[in-house]
Amino acid sequence: MEGQELPYVLIDCVGGKHGVYEDHVEFLEKHFHLITMKEYLENKKLLSKKIRAIYMWYHKPVINEELLQSLPNLKIVAVSGVGIDHLDLNLIFSYGVKVSNTPFAVSTDTADFAMALMLASSRRLVEGYQIAVSPDTQYFPADWLGAEVSGATLGIVGMGTIGYKVAQRARAFEMMILYHNRNQRNKEQESAVGAVYCKKIDDLLQQSDFVLLSVTLTPQTHKLIGKRELELMKPTATLINISRGLVVDQDALVEALQNGVIKAAALDVTHPEPLPRDHPLLKLRNVIVTPHIGSATKKTRRVMMENMTESIQAALAGLPVPNEVSR
């Protein structure tokens, strides 16, 4: 790049709640000329033709038709994470712009976190902590019991990269593993984790002690788990969601948890995020809610940033884009 101007890349901002991490900036500025949305809006006439890529971190900047129309030389939108349900792909593609994400960067940490949610929920970790630190606690109740994970049946809905890595971890806990997927994995992959394919999701729901949701949000998976599906689950079962909040009918989930239709839920994702502070899910003792942190480790976020950089560089050089999102 010596002697050449660095490519102009649009970001939302640096730092703050949704901005590019400050400790990522030095790396990014070795490859790109970063332009914040504030700078762009203040100098739109000068910058509109220079910007060739959008670096979307935490769903920011928001991409709409007005923005796309104003960037005639835009080549790619690089997105952090796996999910792309926040994007209007048809709109972006209609402008001849490519899209990439970072699916493989997040898989290991998200699988680890799924196991953490399962263990925390089954052993009532949050409730236990509250008892241990409460100023009112005078003794630990002997009848305060959790549920076993080892030897239990785990049903994985969505056996993609993350779902499969969860199965690998669950295998070490000697769990029985069922899975439901659009496509059945090959026999070698199934055998490696001892997984049994359920063509019908109903069969998985009826047999599982823990049901893990690890699917992409699409029109087909919107409210995939509703009242009917929850009633198919065991009354002793726990629902774990690491995909997207809209995969679950939250009103039906609240009702199921309140009425003992299922035992518990552990949710890293909700809709909206965060939930309103008076939402009933936040008041139930048999629910754990975390702030969408499945991939939130320093190493993984660094790898995501590097993957996005590689995708932008490839697109601008006219090369195949790593992790390109297809139509």
Amino acid at residue number 216: T
Residue 182 tokens, joined: 């659009």
With vertex at residue 256, the alpha carbon angle to CA 128 and CA 156, rounded to the nearest 5 degrees, is 75
The active-site residue out of 24, 52, 124, 244 is 244
Closest CA to 117 of 296, 320, 288: 288
DSSP-based three-state secondary structure for 295: coil
Which residues face 36 on adjacent strands?
A: 11
| Strands ordered across the beta sheet of 8-11 | 33-36, 8-11, 51-56, 76-79, 98-100
Those residues whose C-beta lies under 8 Å from the C-beta of residue 6, and which sit 6 or more positions away, are 29, 31, 32, 33
CA distances from residue 177 to 32, 156, 210 in whole angstroms, order as listed: 45, 7, 10
CA distances from residue 297 to 110, 125, 201 in whole angstroms, order as listed: 10, 21, 32
Those residues whose C-beta lies under 8 Å from the C-beta of residue 130, and which sit 6 or more positions away, are none
Residue 275 tokens, joined: 């939930």
Torsion of CA 34, 14, 44, 8, to 10 degrees: 10
Per the CB < 8 A criterion, the answer to whether 252 and 227 are in contact is yes
| Strands ordered across the beta sheet of 176-180 | 195-197, 176-180, 153-157, 210-213, 238-241, 264-267, 287-289
- Residue 310 annotated among the catalytic residues of the structure: no
The active-site residue out of 29, 148, 273, 285 is 273
The active-site residue out of 185, 292, 301, 310 is 292
Amino acid at residue number 133: V
Q: Could you give the residue ranges of the DSSP H alpha helices within 43-186?
A: 44-47, 65-69, 89-94, 107-122, 125-133, 161-172
Point out the residues that are catalytic.
244, 273, 292
